[in-house]
A and B are shown apart, each in its own frame.
Chain A
Amino acid sequence: MIEMLGFDFMQRAIPAAVLIGLAAPAVGTFMVQRRLALLGDGIGHVALTGVAIGFLTGTAPVLTAIIVAVLGAVAMELIRVRARTGGDVALALLFYGGIAGGVLLIGLAPGQSGSTLTAYLFGSVTSVDQTDVYLVAALAVLVVGVMLLFGRQLFVLCQDEEVARAHGLPVRFLSLLIAVTAALTVVIAMRVVGLLLVSALMVVPVVTAQQLTRSFRVTLVLAMAIGALSALAGLSTAFYVDVAPGAAIVLMALSGFIVAVAVGWALRGLRARRLAAPRPAAAPPPSATPRESVTR
């Protein structure tokens, strides 16, 4: 562990990965509750088109990726509301459009090919520079800030959009806030875990945490802790065993999930046994059986 810190690139990679491990599940908790677990993936695919546009126009790919990803997130929200399609169909449209656009445009950029995109698809945490670390830190501050300020409203929105409206909340604005925060997280995290895997950090720690919790707030905080821990553990594994860091981080998170399922199952079993002690019986309802079922 100490030895790992002796390397310059690791001194940048570790804070970047841990901050993303904290930020991604924070947005992810709201996405999962809103049944948009794959939103990050959809945005990731769209961001690929943005990366290609960056190469094509000679602009910084991160910048164009942010612009295109935010537009994609907004489009996704509009498709969801306007076209009355399910969120999954809107996502499918983004997936295909984003990947196809990225591959097509990168081919047009001089001196680039599909392999240029690989670094963005799978990330390259070891080539993170000081600017990236600052960007990631700013992202983490932004995400936590949004959660602290709007957490209450976002919770109501993700719980039930209709109820949010009946409380007079700005439903459209809040939906876009989640989508745009997710888009920023995806693009800034792509350098660390890659576009294909960033969505995993938004979802897996959340479903891991919810195996063990009963409260939304505790789920959110626990998911952030699990995310940061997976990032740290995955990165160390990659350093010592020499495997792809993004993949190691995600597999670490997934093994955490499997452990949590087992622990959660055991805990609920214990609890059920404790509750199995005699309980006052509920009022017997069989008198309400429709007569037809008796006569036929």
Chain B
Amino acid sequence: MSDVAFRTVGCRVEYDRQPVLHGIDLEVASGEVLAVLGANGSGKSTLVKALLGLVPLASGRVEVHGRPLRAFRDWSRIGYVPQRLNVGGGVPATVREVVAAGRVSVAKYGWFSSRAERAAVHRALDRVGLADRAADAVHELSGGQQQRVLIARALAAEPDTFVMDEPMAGVDAASQAALAGTVSELASRGSTVVVVLHELGPLAPVIRRSIVLAEGRIAHDGRAPEPVGDCARPGHDHVHPHAGPPARTGLPLAPVPGGGEEDGLR
């Protein structure tokens, strides 16, 4: 298991000539579970898309399982989980249809699935705990359940390399737990997982390495940063005290005309 799942060399991406990634060098070993962290706009989503060739490179190169992206053919080894389910023009689709579509890299042609195909779809749905919803329309599911459908779609072709773009964003607690369970199961089977996250959250125990992006560069690479202070408390509420009103620090405040308690200063 010493081969490299993803390697980027000087990977640079621009949108409208504005650099989003400034020459990223990254190696993800096979079987590694890597979290990509960073603030909004730091380029973390762009980086994982670049790994799969979903965004054009301005310069640099990407290799997947030892082959340059252009020459890579083994797409059934890749399971991609986009940020959200695209509803498109609104033609309905059942959960089963969406998940079965994940096998398109294995079975390209035809319209009807074989028994083996159906079994694979059922296994994938079972692993995310949605086997009983197979016949429902995806647009009738909650956001968290839709996210689980997307994971099941990525699982359907039974790949060994996963790229997930914020699978935890806007997901209810039950689905978060289900997703975390799936990811740790994948990790224990030796799958490679590259996952974009806003915070480690319930995935913290599975993540073995994390990189933090800032303004299109890797600012941290190594073990997951330890949460400190209040955030380290298990089950803490994720609030931003600094986003509230300025703390009263004891510095003299400018007197407010007509203000209640400051009256005494005048």
Contacts and interface: CB of A to CB of B under 8 A. Distances in A.
A37 B89 CA distance: 8
Interface string A82-98: 00000000000000000
Given A159-B98, A167-B75, A295 B88 contact: no
Nearest to A167: B105
Interface string A139-176: 00000000111111101101110110111110000000
Interface in A245-296: 282-283, 285, 287-288, 290-292, 295-296
B111 A165 contact: no
A164 B135 CA distance: 23
Interface in B133-173: 135-137, 140, 153, 163, 172-173
Interface string A114-157: 00000000000000000000000000000000011111110110
Interface in B96-138: 97-98, 101-102, 104-105, 107-111, 135-137
Contacts of B173: 283
A291 B239 contact: yes
A206 B136 contact: no
A33 B91 contact: yes
A34 interface: yes
B75 A168 contact: yes
Contacts of A35: 88-89
Across the A-B interface, the 5 shortest Cβ-Cβ residue pairs? A168-B75, A166-B80, A214-B137, A160-B86, A216-B93
A75 interface: no
Contacts of A165: 52-54
Contact of B243 (A31, A159, A292): A292
Contact of B92 (A151, A152, A214): A214
Contacts of B111: 147-148, 151-152, 217
Interface of B: 49, 52-54, 72-73, 75, 78, 80, 82, 86, 88-94, 97-98, 101-102, 104-105, 107-111, 135-137, 140, 153, 163, 172-174, 237-241, 243-245
Contacts of A168: 72-73, 75, 78, 105
Among A166, A213, A215, A285, the most chain B Cβ lie within 10 Å of the Cβ of A166
A210 interface: yes
Contact of B94 (A37, A216, A285): A216
B230 to A, nearest CB: 12
A153 B239 contact: no
30 contacts: A32-B91, A33-B90, A35-B88, A36-B89, A147-B111, A149-B109, A152-B107, A152-B109, A152-B110, A158-B88, A158-B89, A159-B98, A160-B86, A162-B49, A162-B54, A163-B153, A165-B53, A166-B78, A167-B102, A167-B104, A167-B105, A206-B91, A210-B91, A214-B135, A288-B237, A288-B239, A290-B243, A291-B241, A291-B243, A291-B244
A14 B228 CA distance: 75
Nearest to B105: A167
Contacts of B174: 282-283
Nearest to B150: A163
A185 interface: no
B89 A32 contact: yes
Given A33-B89, A155-B97, A148 B110 contact: yes
A215 B93 contact: yes
Given A34-B88, A152-B107, A159-B93, A288 B238 contact: yes
A149 B104 CA distance: 12
A169 to B, nearest CB: 7
A64 interface: no
Contact of B90 (A32, A153, A288, A292): A32
B244 A292 contact: yes
A230 interface: no
